[in-house]
Chain A
Amino acid sequence: MKLDLKRVLKNYGIVFAFFLVCFILSWLSPVFLHWTNILNIIRQSSIYGIMAIGMTFVILTGGIDLSVGSILAFAGAVAAGMLKANAPLGLVIVTAIAIGAVLGLINGLIITVGRITPFVTTLGMMSIARSLTLIYCNGYPISGFGAAFRFIGGGDLFGIPFPIVVFLLTVLCAWVILAETRLGRYTYAIGGNEETVRLSGIRTHAYKMAVYVVSGVTCGFTALILTSRLNSAEPVAGTGYELDVIAAVVIGGTSLSGGRGGVWGTLVGALLIAVINDGMILLGISPYSQQLVKGLIIIGAVLLDRLREEPS
């Protein structure tokens, strides 16, 4: 079988890029390959990464979710509030996830039944959820939680930090859903051609709503992890996260127009962003320049995506 170099680069280019960057950084900084640094990188990537998995579902259908940062903040704030009121940990966890799900569902309803574009809808939800957060916390952070809750963000399972475990489990579940379930197959199909799916007798509204719920749920997970790790629910938590989350998905090869891509790419994308962030810190590059580098990478990734799209 002839090795089609173009095709290999197209499909796995991002993995090459990832290893290339790691290689360069390990050469430039002696600390890079230390175990603690690597763990740090992966743990950092979990925050954006988990939400990026949810975002992958949304983008696969051709939509977008700009409200992830705000939903994260609200879910985190409510969880914190409940913990302060001595609610049982189990209930807190369920509530945070439920809030994410409900806000996601509202996004989905407005997009499908309301027929408002995802961009505008989630932009509105971004403001609304942020507002709800500020109202709930009265503008102040809620801090100081018990050890049980702190395990979520700070503890580890057999030496692996818990956030990383959650991240990997999320990736695996998402992978299985996308490959083996109706929700997964319909997600790809709807992103490829929604009209065809509708004319095939499938309730596209229900499945489109479902992906926004998935996104919201991943925000719930992340809210618990972040709040636990910082030992505080900040009213400004998650601000600006949506950009990194979307970047991870796009860099990972999922097309913004939908129908193409997957969670393994998103995993690589999230790791790549975390590696670059970490690398720039290790190399002492000013935080101002970090934005520039990230921006260039995103544009580069989208250009690659354009090239991947074969002229039809």
Chain B
Amino acid sequence: MGSVLRMRGISKSFPGVRALDRVDLELDASEVHALAGENGAGKSTLMKILSGVYRADEGEIWLRDRKVAAAGPRAMIEAGVSVIYQELNLVPYLSVAENIFLGREPRKRGGFIDWKKMRAEVATLLEPFGLSLDPKAKVYSIGPAYQQVVEIAKALSLRSGILVMDEPTAALTGHEVDRLFELIRNLRKKGVSVIYISHRLQEIKELADRVTVLRDGRHIVTAAVKDITVDEIIRNMVGRKLTEQYPKAQQAVRGEVLRVEGLSKRGVCEDVSLAVRRGEILGLAGLVGAGRTEIVELIYGARRKDAGRVFVDGKEVKIRSTRDAVREGLALIPEERKKQGLVLGLSVLDNIALTVLDLYSFFGFIKRRIVTGLVRKMSGEVGVRTPSLAQLVRNLSGGNQQKVVLSKWFVRDCDVYIFDEPTRGIDVGAKVEIYRLMQNLAAQGAGIIMVSSELIEVMNMSDRIAVVCNGRIVTEFVRGQATDEEVMSWALGLKGKAS
């Protein structure tokens, strides 16, 4: 058989979610096999199982006709599987040679590191590919393109037959991408097989031999790249999903509550303009890394912007800090509730009261009874399930923790609520409750911006949707005017001038 890798019937579940459901993946020798799918489709989980970081619940892995027993990362590396992560796994302050041979440095007699040999090895590794790197150069100084080469050299030095590359071109420019492709083709000629994970479908068409599409943890299709079009790949990625409950009612939309014009920050976003009206939910769709979180953080004053004007209820306001934003009636429910939305060591009461202490104090002294009453009422309305308000937030479930974060802002009765991934990591039941709460807010006259990577969530909850790609808003449309596939195409940068 020509296959170097066969993953059969791989399943993996985490509390509350089935990340992979009997997925198959096959890799031939000298093949570049692309892996495509939306965020959350299961690509990373599958690769983590391959690299030994996770253990599959069900299924088998065969490497060249030999079944692999449940093994850890070290064993899989020794078996010839190397993974190059998007964030790269290098030590920036060490040299190229040290990174490549980290932990396996060639030794001289007495245990000393043989620097000369190590540096010579680097040249030997790269020479067949027509590349050269200064083995003494510190990795932080050589730029992302060459850092990637270092990772590849590391894999080669490990004699890896299988190389997994996760979004390798994310940080590269056109020229560098070409060189990387050249390198990958050379690797293929030498018998190395590559699993290539990418959202850039054009690249997949250009480079890969076959492509496998995953969706919702399931294997959808595997086809030769020449036999499938980009549109078909997208259709398989998005497909039609199980319907969940989305309590969406038609809202009476009133005047404009927030408008942003010309928001820019170098390296993050450019000329972003959007507007939200009272009673309306504006969804921000796009891929992870498109810049949506950064955009809302800039609006909210959590980061300093280079340019841009913000208008609340038609009046221009200066937002230079989060305090300004909150004063103007904005609220941000952040992406990572444990790191950014909660103080885990404090009680439910302390967390919810955090935003309103300034409203209910007398010369610095907090009006305890009023605050406690307010918090009790709000946590009841929101439905926070806790034995008491004194319970430490770290002991609550994910869904309840998120409700505490929501309570914190609802208690302040804001005009604009920005939700960043509001239902991430939350079970289905709690999700519906949160959607309902969002609807209530809108009904009561607030404007809502919702950032979400779950396309189905954005499409069903928003009144209007703006798609962000590479820090720009590439299109905007009203609910119902575009299909999932169209939105995905926009998000991937395949439509319009952004590419």
- The answer on a CB contact under 8 Å between A259 and B343 is yes
A188 at the interface (CB under 8 A from B): yes
Instruction: Name the segment of A31-39, A176-184, A231-239, A275-283 touching the other chain.
Output: A176-184
Partner of B344 from the list A181, A192, A201 (CB cut-off 8 Å) is: A192
Rounded to whole angstroms, the CA-CA distance of A181 and B321 in the bound complex is 23
Q: Which residue of B lies closest to A310 (CB)?
A: B394
Rounded to whole angstroms, the CA-CA distance of A202 and B342 in the bound complex is 14
- The answer on a CB contact under 8 Å between A182 and B366 is yes
Rounded to whole angstroms, the CA-CA distance of A185 and B358 in the bound complex is 11
- The answer on a CB contact under 8 Å between A198 and B354 is no
What's the interface size class on A, roughly? 20 to 34
- The answer on a CB contact under 8 Å between A199 and B366 is no
Partner of B340 from the list A183, A199, A202, A312 (CB cut-off 8 Å) is: A199
* B339 cross-chain contacts in A, Cβ below 8 A: 193, 195-196
User: Would you list which residues of chain A between 138 and 189 have a CB under 8 Å from chain B?
Assistant: 180-183, 185-186, 188-189
- The answer on a CB contact under 8 Å between A200 and B354 is yes
Partner of A180 from the list B326, B345, B365 (CB cut-off 8 Å) is: B365
Rounded to whole angstroms, the CA-CA distance of A259 and B392 in the bound complex is 13
A229 at the interface (CB under 8 A from B): no
What's the interface size class on B, roughly? 20 to 34
- The answer on a CB contact under 8 Å between B342 and A189 is no
A260 at the interface (CB under 8 A from B): yes
Q: How many residue pairs bridge A and B at CB < 8 Å?
A: 76
- The answer on a CB contact under 8 Å between A259 and B345 is yes
Partner of A189 from the list B327, B346, B368 (CB cut-off 8 Å) is: B346
Determine chain B's interface SS by DSSP, over half rule: mixed
Partner of A196 from the list B327, B340, B364, B394 (CB cut-off 8 Å) is: B340
Shortest C-beta distance, A304 to chain B (Å), equals 17
Partner of B323 from the list A183, A185, A201, A260 (CB cut-off 8 Å) is: A201
Shortest C-beta distance, A254 to chain B (Å), equals 12
- The answer on a CB contact under 8 Å between B364 and A192 is no
- The answer on a CB contact under 8 Å between B357 and A185 is yes
- The answer on a CB contact under 8 Å between B323 and A202 is yes
A203 at the interface (CB under 8 A from B): yes
* A185 cross-chain contacts in B, Cβ below 8 A: 350, 353-354, 357, 366
A-binding residues in B (CB < 8 A): 302, 321-323, 325-327, 332, 334, 339-346, 350, 353-355, 357-358, 361, 364-366, 368, 394, 408
User: Can you name 14 A-B pairs with beta carbons within 8 Å?
Assistant: A181-B365, A181-B366, A182-B364, A185-B357, A189-B346, A192-B344, A193-B339, A196-B341, A196-B342, A196-B343, A199-B340, A200-B354, A201-B326, A201-B327
> 7 nearest interchain CB pairs?
A201-B326, A192-B343, A192-B345, A193-B343, A181-B364, A259-B345, A201-B322
